[in-house]
Structure 1
Amino acid sequence: MKYIALLVTAIAAFLTPFMSSSTNIVLPPIGREFNIDAVTLGWIATAYLLAAGIFSVPFGRIADIKGRKKIFIMGLFIYTVGSFLSGIATSAEFLIASRVIQGIGGAMIFTTAMAILTSIFSKNERGKAIGINTGAVYTGLSLGPFLGGYLAQNFGWRSVFLINVPLGILALSLALWKLKGEWADAKGEKFDFIGSILYSFMLLFIIYGLTELSVPFLVVGLVLLLIFVNYESRVECPVLEIRLFRKNLTFSLSSLAALLNYSATFAVGFVLSFYLQEVRGFNSQDAGIILLSQPVIMAIFAPFAGWLSDIIEPKVVASIGMAITTLSLFIFSNIGIDTPISLIVLNLMLLGFGLALFSSPNTNAIMSSVERKFFGIASATVATMRLLGQILSMAIVMLIFSILIGKVEITPEYYPLLVESARVSFIIFTILCFIGIFASLGRGKIR
């Protein structure tokens, strides 16, 4: 039964990153159809991430109480509906709203998938299972730019969203048919409704404040963060177990390392998609093939890294991966209008190798550092750190775009500013990832 669960969760794990990576490649043609600027296009990517981030922790807690399978199946259904609505969108606003629905479904999927795996597989098999699941994530990332570019080039950008509908139906059918059992290790405990509301609004205000350069929103968000942490430290059954961060060094530093890693790397695809299609003149399909070089290396090496973390202390493998990632981002910080495409491809492969070495061992460290009843929260934390990092990564790029380019359509006269924006983004990403090396090294041992 555990291998059936691994198959079903791997299919689900493929869907959401496939959507994320394929969306980046079709943003330029979406912008041309709806006549919208780069910052608004950024919101098409960010809306999904923001919704997923807001709902991941509450749904992780609900899954612990009510059952992970229930939430997992419901998430597949909502995600599929959101994909269909995105594919028939008639305006940028409609598309952004549909992406929010996708994000809610996505939150329900990835906060439960990892918890289900961790519940089923023993500690000495967990790294391998997580590695296979992570490999499925990176396979989705791999196929996203290539298949997304091919579909957009030959069938229009809407096909990128609509192809998720049959995939979602397939995953939902398999889950209903083959996924037996229910996992609710916190059954009977109360759901922290107030904490969930505080968490959601805190995240919304902080991210909106960052992306729109709104100081009042950012201040309100930070105040809500302080209120949330104080409240969660005192409530009996918190939506997010703050004490895990305070008392469990491995859990807290592994989570911080994940946050920094995703903050430094997620928007790389977004930036390079614009660079390759606008500055270098590639079509969606060819740009997708170039971007494919990063995630395909991740998909190949992630299972190996997960297996390695069952043998070697995860922090060693993850820290090496973080260092390699830092080097790759530093190389990208020197990108120019005439940078050889071969160098970009090789550096993307280096980035993919570093991310593969980091992600599976880091997730293994997080999931293995908590007791069974916190698996749902730990899984939600993994997803939340990933999502927060992705949101912050996009927020950094959108902020730089707003300052250097402004809210304008990308036309040839803005290409030098686009390249400069890419350089500044990669410098900031290099610094974040360099700090992440020390967070990764500082964590405790799980064995």
Structure 2
Amino acid sequence: MLSPVERRYTTFAVALGSSLAPFMVAGLFVAIPAVGEEFAADPVILGWIPTAFFLAAAMFLIPFGRNADIYGGKRIFSLGLAVYFIAALAAALAPTAPILIGARFLAGVGAAMVFATSFALLGLILPEDERGAALGINIAASFGGFALGFLAGGLLAYYSTWRALFLVPPPVALLSAGIIRRHLRGECALSRGTRPDLFGIALSTTTILLLMVGLSLLPAVQGAAALAAGLASLGTFIVHETKTADPLLDIRTLLRNRPLALANAAVLVYSTAGSAYVYLFSLYFQYVREFDARLAGSIFLVTSLVTASLVGYTGRLSDRISPHLVAMAGAAMTIAGFAALSFIGPATPVAVPVLALVLIVVGIAFFQPPVYTLVIGAAERAMYGVASGLVETMRLLGMTASMAVAIVAFALNFGGMAITEETVPLLLTSLQALFSIYFCLSVASLLVIWLAGRAA
């Protein structure tokens, strides 16, 4: 057992590592217009910068979680920090948009390593009476990373350069890795000796890649072909996982557990509806309303603090009343937010999009903790780790799909043109269409979470 000092240091190091990905994601969302100006990139290329990160994280989260059980959580977590270091430097020095996209994909791989192991490490090294506080610190660090990222992205894009954003993670990653190496003795590998399901890993990553890339290429023939190939790969994965002795994901248990399956479906649909909003609002505020990066970053900073201040309350609320009712209230607020955005224009009073943004972020705060409670409540105790990894994968898949939908809309409207003063009307048309699509998806998420509540 680690000493109290070693436990505190390790908790701090894990929290540092968990804050890095949110920091970079939030900062880059605000700085997206500055990136577009430097590379003369159209909205499709800009959309791939965050999408590449979400795609990689979704592809590799469960595989790295499983490998952490086999080879050790400390090893995978530390390797993730090293990948962060390299990816951040590559992004800071990227000479072209495609190289920046590649650097963000690499950062997503590192994020999968960190996401898959951070909660597990804290759960394994801490006594039961300290775990809740440590997990709370870790979640707070993630929200803190978002808040600081919004602030830094706005200030650096305005006063300096968006590239400076990526000079922050390397020293933080080094500090976290150094603390882990010095104060976390031994290794956490509960499934040591088990063979990794290499074929299952290959199938799962291929399936996610084909489905998400195919979605982003629609309505082109290549997109339909990639989607068809992805569905075939998914079928092969399901068959393989039901027959192998050491599956990457226990499909049979999941198929038998209807409440767990529906709760994860709700996360997927809701994340698809509500995850691209920061990217879209960043474009709207800076191109349509002509806010500078400082003001846009400040608005996102305030809304992220609103979310952070509410998640603790909504988590406690879902302990007192049915979690699915709280989650449904969150989905309803998100629906109201997107409904208000469906007809926005350059002359719309600025209070309307700001109020809609507040409704969306408050909806997220009301939706996420209760639906995670539903997932854990529907899982058997022996499946807590798998359920946790699965719901996080559904969230990341939804984020990737949300951005893919935006990419399709921009591709159809812009046809490769960059965002300029002349093409702002096309941007506004795209935003109106996307907000309407996300409104419909939010309604669908409300229905799915209702079904999950009935099945629980």
Pair 1:366 & 2:366 matched: no
Aligned partners of 2:258 and 2:455 also within 8 Å: no
1:53 partner amino acid: A
Match of 1:314 in 2: 323
Q: Quick one: structure 1 residues 63 and 223, their matched pair in 2 at CA, closer, same or farther if it must change by over 3 Å?
A: same
**1:170 aligned counterpart, secondary structure:** helix
**1:339 aligned counterpart, secondary structure:** coil
2:73 partner amino acid: R
Q: For structure 1, which runs of at least 5 residues remain unmatched after alignment?
A: none
Match of 1:141 in 2: 146
Q: CA deviation at 1:444?
A: 5.5
Q: CA deviation at 1:347?
A: 2.4
Q: Quick one: structure 1 residues 347 and 33, their matched pair in 2 at CA, closer, same or farther if it must change by over 3 Å?
A: same
Match of 1:350 in 2: 359
Q: CA deviation at 1:315?
A: 2.6
226-235 or 118-127: which moved more?
118-127
Task: State which of 56, 73, 79 in structure 1 corresponds to 2:78.
Answer: 73
Aligned partners of 2:337 and 2:355 also within 8 Å: no
Aligned partners of 2:9 and 2:179 also within 8 Å: no
Match of 1:40 in 2: 45
Post-superposition Cα deviations, 1:316-370, rounded to whole Å, max 9, x if no partner, equal 3222222222222222223221222233223222222211122123223324543
Aligned partners of 2:264 and 2:394 also within 8 Å: yes
Aligned partners of 1:17 and 1:137 also within 8 Å: yes
Match of 1:287 in 2: 296
Q: Quick one: structure 1 residues 44 and 69, their matched pair in 2 at CA, closer, same or farther if it must change by over 3 Å?
A: same
Post-superposition Cα deviations, 1:69-105, rounded to whole Å, max 9, x if no partner, equal 2211211121122111111111112212211211110
Q: Distance in 2 between matches of 1:134 and 1:436?
A: 24
**1:89 aligned counterpart, secondary structure:** coil
Pair 1:331 & 2:336 matched: no
Aligned partners of 1:153 and 1:284 also within 8 Å: yes
285-294 or 220-229: which moved more?
285-294
Q: Distance in 2 between matches of 1:445 and 1:155?
A: 53
State the aligned residue count.
Answer: 447
Q: Quick one: structure 1 residues 110 and 445, their matched pair in 2 at CA, closer, same or farther if it must change by over 3 Å?
A: farther
Match of 1:19 in 2: 24
Match of 1:380 in 2: 389
Match of 1:402 in 2: 411
Q: Distance in 1 between matches of 2:19 and 2:291?
A: 26
**1:407 aligned counterpart, secondary structure:** coil
Length-normalised TM-score, structure 2:
0.90
Match of 1:210 in 2: 215
Q: Quick one: structure 1 residues 395 and 113, their matched pair in 2 at CA, closer, same or farther if it must change by over 3 Å?
A: same
Q: Quick one: structure 1 residues 369 and 424, their matched pair in 2 at CA, closer, same or farther if it must change by over 3 Å?
A: same
Q: For structure 2, which runs of at least 5 residues remain unmatched after alignment?
A: none
Q: Quick one: structure 1 residues 347 and 118, their matched pair in 2 at CA, closer, same or farther if it must change by over 3 Å?
A: farther
Pair 1:247 & 2:256 matched: yes
Match of 1:191 in 2: 196
Aligned partners of 1:291 and 1:348 also within 8 Å: no
Task: State which of 383, 398, 401 in structure 2 corresponds to 1:392.
Answer: 401
Task: State which of 27, 47, 54 in structure 2 corresponds to 1:49.
Answer: 54
Aligned partners of 1:322 and 1:354 also within 8 Å: yes
Q: Distance in 1 between matches of 2:385 and 2:202?
A: 19
Task: State which of 432, 441, 444 in structure 1 corresponds to 2:450.
Answer: 441
Q: Distance in 2 between matches of 1:365 and 1:3?
A: 30
1:198 partner amino acid: L
Q: Distance in 1 between matches of 2:335 and 2:129?
A: 30
Q: CA deviation at 1:126?
A: 7.1
Q: CA deviation at 1:125?
A: 8.5
Q: Distance in 1 between matches of 2:371 and 2:140?
A: 14
Post-superposition Cα deviations, 1:9-61, rounded to whole Å, max 9, x if no partner, equal 33322221221121111121112112221111111111111111111111111
Q: Quick one: structure 1 residues 384 and 300, their matched pair in 2 at CA, closer, same or farther if it must change by over 3 Å?
A: same
**1:409 aligned counterpart, secondary structure:** coil
Q: Distance in 2 between matches of 1:222 and 1:365?
A: 28
Task: State which of 73, 76, 82 in structure 1 corresponds to 2:87.
Answer: 82
Q: Quick one: structure 1 residues 379 and 67, their matched pair in 2 at CA, closer, same or farther if it must change by over 3 Å?
A: farther
Post-superposition Cα deviations, 1:207-226, rounded to whole Å, max 9, x if no partner, equal 11111222211211111111
Q: Distance in 2 between matches of 1:123 and 1:444?
A: 29
Match of 1:114 in 2: 119
Q: Distance in 2 between matches of 1:375 and 1:127?
A: 15
Aligned partners of 1:131 and 1:306 also within 8 Å: no
Q: Distance in 1 between matches of 2:15 and 2:41?
A: 35
Match of 2:178 in 1: 173
Match of 1:10 in 2: 15
**2:358 aligned counterpart, secondary structure:** helix
Q: Distance in 1 between matches of 2:361 and 2:210?
A: 32
Q: Distance in 1 between matches of 2:127 and 2:317?
A: 16
Aligned partners of 1:315 and 1:361 also within 8 Å: yes
CA RMSD of aligned residues (A): 2.5
Identity among equivalent pairs (%): 36
Aligned partners of 1:60 and 1:379 also within 8 Å: no
Q: CA deviation at 1:169?
A: 2.2
Aligned partners of 1:328 and 1:348 also within 8 Å: yes
Aligned partners of 1:83 and 1:102 also within 8 Å: yes
Q: CA deviation at 1:433?
A: 1.5
Q: Distance in 2 between matches of 1:129 and 1:192?
A: 31
Aligned partners of 1:63 and 1:376 also within 8 Å: no
**1:413 aligned counterpart, secondary structure:** coil
